[in-house]
């Protein structure tokens, strides 16, 4: 809020009124503080960029806002790097669970799933997507990948879970909770959580 408050002061805006308005969003609480592959959609990235631009226009350096956008842009790549640390997905079936920019919508504009799917394709993975609402919209963007009717169908069998602890480090880390299968496997990644990948024996 300090960076937002500093920009507000340059324009004579009451930063406390802005904070009150932000606080009306019920998500600004613990439920909104999990690490993930970043925010997407058509509004929030554009709004943050516009706020940063407004700061620069007033000769204020919005370094924190610029850093937010920079880190956000890197998060999908970070998820893929974490996956690379643990397995080679070349020729493997990989499920991407969650295709819209947020749950409960068919809006895939600037969805974080898009760079994840692209990165998996670049790695030679056989990508299958699942989203209960947004599959048809994503199919227009990626007509060449498979789309499942359910999360279970996307990964075929119950996944072996890998989890990422949050709040313990500024750098996402992976904790292995089960042994990685030695046979050919199906891997599932969620577009909503950095480092949370799943594997199932094929």
Q: Show which residues are catalytic.
A: 43
User: C-alpha dihedral over 151, 155, 160, 166, to 10 degrees?
Assistant: -50
Which residue in the block uniquely carries the two structure tokens 């969805």? 111
Other Cβ atoms closer than 10 A to 40: 24
Q: Which two three-digit tokens encode residue 132?
A: 């209960």
For every residue of the chain, which 3-state class applies, written as one string? CHHHHHHHHHCCCCHHHHHHHHHCCCCCCHHHCCCCCCCCCCCHHHHHHHHHHHHHHCCCCCHHHHHHHHHHHHHHHHHHHHHHCCCCCCCCEEEEECCCCCCCCCCCCCCCHHHHHHHHHHCCCEEEEECCCCHHHHHHHCCCCEECCCHHHHHCCCCEEEECCCCCCCCCCCEECCCCCCCCEEEEEECCCCCCEEEEEC
């Amino acid at each position: 809020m300090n960076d937002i408050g500093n920009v507000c002061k340059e324009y004579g805006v009451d930063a406390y009124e802005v904070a009150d308005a932000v606080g009306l969003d019920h998500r600004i609480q613990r439920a909104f503080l999990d690490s993930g592959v970043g925010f997407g959609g058509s509004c929030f990235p554009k709004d943050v960029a516009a706020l940063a631009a407004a700061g620069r226009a007033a000769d204020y350096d919005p370094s924190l806002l610029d850093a937010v956008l920079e880190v956000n842009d890197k998060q999908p790549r970070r998820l893929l790097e974490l996956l690379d640390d643990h397995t080679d997905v070349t020729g493997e079936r990989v499920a991407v669970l969650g295709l819209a920019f947020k749950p409960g919508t068919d809006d895939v504009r600037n969805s974080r799933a898009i760079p994840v799917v692209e990165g998996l394709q670049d790695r030679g993975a056989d990508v299958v997507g699942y989203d209960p609402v947004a599959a048809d919209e994503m199919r227009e963007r990626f007509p060449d990948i498979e789309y499942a009717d359910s999360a279970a169908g996307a990964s075929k069998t119950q996944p072996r879970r890998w989890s990422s602890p949050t709040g313990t480090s500024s750098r996402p880390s992976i904790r292995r909770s089960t042994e990685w299968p030695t046979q050919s496997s199906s891997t599932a990644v969620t577009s909503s959580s950095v480092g949370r990948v799943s594997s199932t024996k094929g």
